[in-house]
Structure 1
Amino acid sequence: MNKLGLIAGNGRFPFLLLEAARAHGLNVVVAAIKEETDPEMNARAEADAGVRVYWMSLGELSKLIETFQREGVTRAVMAGQVKHKQIFSSIRPDWRLAKLLLNLRTRNTDMLLGAVAKVLGDEGIELISSTAYLEPLLAQAGVLTARRPTEDEAKDIAYGRMVAKAIAGYDLGQTVVIAAQACVAVEAMEGTDATIARAGALLQAQGDVGDTTLARSLTVVKVAKPNQDMRFDVPVVGAPTIATMRGAGATCLCIEAGRTLLFDREAMVRAADEAGIAIVAE
């Protein structure tokens, strides 16, 4: 039976991909990252003989390669977020990864993961698209919720997409938060949810000091990179995104159609409708 290697980060993404791969009849060899992967992965392996889990630290590239080669894995996929600050501050590289890092022109996520993908390929392990087996979860163009964006939110979306595409092109982040066509927050290493929460705090601070300059609702815009490599860092949203938006006072979410994965779509849309949040894919 064919095998698939799964390099698992945090969140539900690895579990969804695991389930989809098993549904396609594949045995799955999971490289679980100690700093990121949910321990539930062990229970998943115990319940399914077609799943094997090996735990390793983020910097153990040699162990990853040796594990996949020993298991006969020739195709692998990355699924789940690895926090950017983990990659660039907490990592303890082995000799192979240390050599790779020394040869990087710039230390951004795309450059690093692209180099890792090349090393894997040189060792006979092809890294495939992280949307493999999950294409039905990609957002289709249109309004997903009962409420459409208002005229003001539509203006914020147009401005936000322009800004988000620009920063994504520099691999700085994929999300911006807009209010009254002003950029309130830009994602960097902290991740989407932290960016939204920070925008909410900034807007609250404006109100606390009596400054109504940004006394408007927040619109969240999340995009793929202009040359998005679908093997890693694909935009993902789900019900937790809506919960964070609700807490921050955000009323509208715009995502990129065809290049954003929707997790637990029904729960996400239901939560958005209950909160009066509009979601649109463009």
Structure 2
Amino acid sequence: MTRIAVIAGQGALAPAVIAALDAPLVYALDGFAPDGVDAAPFRLERLVPFLDSLLDRDVSRVVFAGAIRRPRLDPELFDNRTAQLVPRIMMAMQAGDDGALRAVLDVFGEHGLEVVSVADVAPDLIPGEGVLAGEPSAADRRDAERAALILATLGPLDVGQGAVVAQGQCLAIETLPGTAAMLDFAARHVGLRPNPNGARGVFFKAPKPGQDMRIDLPTLGPDSVTQAAAAGLGGIAWAAGGVILLDRDESIRRAQSAGLFLWAMPPA
């Protein structure tokens, strides 16, 4: 009987994915296990022996769930086989984090392990097209489309997966500090909207163009709704089929309570 393993990253996604599976094996990079998750640790310096151990336990599929930060590597801990991969991964890292992740996924595949997406194992976490709460106005829809265009244009630069647009003006773009920092920045510059009585603005989220959909999908949840409300925005829009929504019922409840819309937009 084949098994599935979860590589658990930080945040609320890993527990949600684990709950959707039938007794998966759970692992995490040493020192980066998510709170409340019992995960066996492993180190990148011994990646190949770790992959061997998965095969020994009849694992055939692996899903990455949650934020994974780049750990500090200890050269003295590398085994001979993993050390041979270092030049290849270092070269991939020159193309950014996406390149490094693709290189690691390739290594999993070369060892006979299929890396699957969250959509494959927990499809209920990824909403299809439709409005889940409230109703975006025509101006909101234009702002969401403008934000989608901005992210699509910036995609090749590997900058981020979110943007805030109000009345056609870009107030903030998600960068390395993350979503909360972007929304805080937007809140502090809400006065830049051309018409104080016009559309309040939209927080938009989408995968980067050409992104490997097996890993690092953008994620929203109840905290995203609370942060968007605190930023004075009118709602949240995202690319349907490409964004994870955690705790859907609570996200909808908070949006309704705050008067925000939630909209899974059709693909461009």
The TM-score bracket by the shorter chain reads 0.7 to 0.9
Whether 2:99 is the aligned partner of 1:103: answer: no
Q: Could you tell me how far 1:192 is from its partner in structure 2?
A: 2.0
Give unpaired runs (5+ residues) of structure 2: none
Q: 1:245 aligns with which of 208, 220, 228?
A: 228
8 Å CA contact 1:237, 1:261 repeated in 2 = yes
Corresponding residue number in structure 2 for 1:46: none
Residue 193 and residue 58 in structure 1: after superposition, are their counterparts in 2 closer, same or farther (change >3 A)? farther
Cα separation, 1, equivalents of 2:223 and 2:193: 29
Aligned pairs for 1:112-127 within 5 A: 112-127=100-115
The aligned length equals 256
Aligned pairs for 1:231-242 within 5 A: 231-242=214-225
Q: Structure 2: which amino acid aligns with 1:254?
A: A
Cα separation, 1, equivalents of 2:46 and 2:179: 27
Q: 1:75 aligns with which of 42, 46, 61?
A: 61
Residue 163 and residue 100 in structure 1: after superposition, are their counterparts in 2 closer, same or farther (change >3 A)? same
Percent sequence identity over matched residues?
26
Other structure's SS at 1:38 match: coil
User: How far does the alpha carbon of each residue in 1:48-69 deviate from its partner, in whole angstroms, 9 at most, with x for none?
Assistant: xxxxx31135665345424423
Corresponding residue number in structure 1 for 2:161: 174
Cα separation, 1, equivalents of 2:93 and 2:43: 24
Residue 212 and residue 62 in structure 1: after superposition, are their counterparts in 2 closer, same or farther (change >3 A)? same
8 Å CA contact 2:165, 2:203 repeated in 1 = yes
Cα separation, 2, equivalents of 1:102 and 1:169: 20
Q: 1:37 aligns with which of 29, 33, 36?
A: 33
Other structure's SS at 1:121 match: helix
Alpha-carbon RMSD across the aligned residues, in angstroms, is 2.3
Corresponding residue number in structure 2 for 1:11: 11
Other structure's SS at 1:14 match: helix
Q: Which deviates further from its counterpart, 268-277 or 190-199?
A: 190-199
Give unpaired runs (5+ residues) of structure 1: 43-52
Q: 1:28 aligns with which of 16, 24, 30?
A: 24
Other structure's SS at 1:41 match: coil
8 Å CA contact 1:185, 1:196 repeated in 2 = yes
Q: Could you tell me how far 1:194 is from its partner in structure 2?
A: 2.1
Residue 177 and residue 36 in structure 1: after superposition, are their counterparts in 2 closer, same or farther (change >3 A)? farther
Aligned pairs for 1:211-230 within 5 A: 213=194, 215=196, 217-230=200-213
Q: Structure 2: which amino acid aligns with 1:80?
A: G
Q: Structure 1: which amino acid aligns with 2:10?
A: N
Q: Could you tell me how far 1:112 is from its partner in structure 2?
A: 0.9
User: How far does the alpha carbon of each residue in 1:124-175 deviate from its partner, in whole angstroms, 9 at most, with x for none?
Assistant: 2221123222112221212111x21123222211211111122234322110
Q: Could you tell me how far 1:121 is from its partner in structure 2?
A: 1.4
Other structure's SS at 1:195 match: helix
Other structure's SS at 1:232 match: coil
Q: Which deviates further from its counterpart, 1-10 or 93-102?
A: 93-102
Q: Structure 2: which amino acid aligns with 1:256?
A: A
Cα separation, 2, equivalents of 1:59 and 1:275: 47
Q: Could you tell me how far 1:251 is from its partner in structure 2?
A: 1.7
Cα separation, 1, equivalents of 2:103 and 2:141: 38
